[in-house]
Structure 1
């Protein structure tokens, strides 16, 4: 087996995160699969690339050599792919958009607005749990736009991606409870009241897990089991009363489930639109952002509890026109 670019990306991910487990999460792989891949890479190169212990993974001398070369090769290949994609005409036209998105309230409304504006428009979508994956696809010319989320003030990807990011809106994070739960009909719920709960969340990257753990610590407890699963299974688990869910405030109302604000609004989720400034998609970015904001407004307006709550928490609607 020959060394490939994907192998260099694996080595870089482990070095950047300092952990095989964290690198596996970053790359969207299972930890055993990434460990096996690292072992194959080390066999190709003739020695261990990392010293691994309970504190994480530290590059060996051979690992440092590979990382130094990878930091030259990967940006060069990325630039070649971007330039080749644009030269080959692999770009957006007014009648076609390639949009990647993580789970959220915006993509469906965005597609509807693009279609209403031009009934011949073709929208090709690429779903993912991983914002960094989508930003890399935009950077390399495989997507025109991505609609992603970020916790706090961070943005996905790296500065080398060269993307422009614009904020669509800021969502508060609510809890999902079965309608039979004693707290389901409260105006707000304090996190401390859910100290004994098990939690169900969507998978994803970024710092949200750390932010949630910190919010729980400020409320005096550490969260119990955190189940990562797709949205259908999260709903099933909450409806059955086996877990409490975390969701964006704009989560569409579902039979048997109540969404309740968290007192003090300790968690937020910024919806972002990203594109590459040198792509032809950039010409349509302002219109795309306007459609995305309108799609978010429509989604927020479906939740009357959220609209009333926003009146007391205006920091969560910088782009909204809801009175």
Structure 2
């Protein structure tokens, strides 16, 4: 693992909080996720950065060395980013908005659809993408000016991340969808339009990773249905699809998931889980001038994706009052 600026921010946050639990709360992370991230950093740096004790944590000698450098580097990079943003705003004001769109997003068909739509609407534009399972990482890149827009999603009514360092990002809702379930074509529930979550109590599950609260919300929904998932395989989309196709697991997916051979997607009865698609940008970036147009394109992409999913199109016709 290569050390990045965000890792130095994590080390600084832990030192200032004096506790992994308090640092996790401040960073908006689950404490186990922060502990795992710290262990990866310690392996990369060759030793422990903090000593754990009954009253919290304190830096080791190596930790003090890292903190000393971090206290110089983090403010210096923040200052450089702000200067670069000011330079970009002056350049945009003098030359007009450059035809460049740097898009960040979590993996999924909506990002690909947005790239295609922008390439068609702006033939001369440069469109580049950066994908990550971490919405927090994407928000950080947005705050640093390294990407222009982020297309991602959050569970239910959860708030998207701030971007860190006091960055006031703008987030606008694109659409809200129920979470569907992927089933093998031969599954006993595949012929039904809506599947009660309780009827999948004996199944193994598969889902893509993420750093939001979706895993906890899924566990809570299962608990309300009266069971604990036997196993949850967190892996990439292609592997999730394969596990469902071969009957090894059933999968959670966005309602806009495209038709795929060997499996069907179905609504969970009562919509116990919801997914909110959001588009984010930095209000002071040159790209902010095009934000409303990008938002309109993104909403059009979602509408088209919903139309191309037969199961979701049927669900929407029967649940117009809920939309």
TM-score range relative to shorter protein: 0.7 to 0.9
| Residue 160 of structure 2 is aligned to residue 162 of structure 1 | no
Residue in 2 aligned with 1:23? Answer: 34
Partners of 1:185 and 1:258 within 8 A in 2: no
RMSD between aligned residues: 3.2
Number of equivalent positions? 302
Over 6 Å off, 4+ runs: 68-75
Post-superposition offset of 1:86 = 1.9
Q: Which residue of 1 aligns with 2:286?
A: 280
Quick check: 1:40 aligned with 2:47?
Answer: yes
3-state SS of paired residue (1:186): coil
Judged with a 3 Å threshold, the aligned counterparts in structure 2 of structure 1 residues 103 and 223 are, in CA distance, closer, same or farther, namely: same
Deviation at 1:313, TM superposition (A): 3.0
Structure 2 spans left out of the alignment, 5+ residues: 15-19
Tell me how far apart the structure 2 counterparts of residues 80 and 313 of structure 1 sit (CA, whole Å). Answer: 50
**1:314 to partner: Cα distance:** 3.9
Partner residue of 1:51?
53
Question: Could you tell me how far apart the structure 1 residues matched to 2:196 and 2:68 are?
Answer: 50
1:138-178: per-residue Cα shift (whole Å, max 9, x none)?
A: 10000000101100222332362310000000111011000
CA–CA distance in 2 between the matches of 1:285 and 1:270?
18
Q: Distance in 2 between matches of 1:4 and 1:301?
A: 41
Q: Which residue of structure 2 aligns with residue 8 of structure 1?
A: 8
Q: Whole-Å Cα distance in 2 between the matches of residues 275 and 315 of structure 1?
A: 31
CA-CA distance at 1:187 after TM superposition: 1.2
Q: Are the equivalent residues in 1 in contact too, given 2:8–2:74 (CA < 8 A)?
A: no
Local SS of the residue matching 1:100: strand
> Offset of 1:113 from its aligned partner?
1.8
Quick one: structure 1 residues 280 and 5, their matched pair in 2 at CA, closer, same or farther if it must change by over 3 Å?
Answer: closer
Gaps of 5+ in 1: 43-47, 318-323
Aligned to 1:183: 189
Task: Give 2:108's aligned residue.
Answer: 104
Which residue of 118, 128, 131 corresponds with 2:122? Answer: 118
Which residue of structure 1 lines up, in the alignment, with residue 233 of structure 2?
Answer: 227
Alpha-carbon contact 1:178-1:241 (below 8 Å) kept: yes
User: Residues 189, 297 of structure 1: CA spacing in aligned structure 2 closer, same or farther, 3 A cutoff?
Assistant: same
Partner of 2:109: helix, strand, or coil? coil
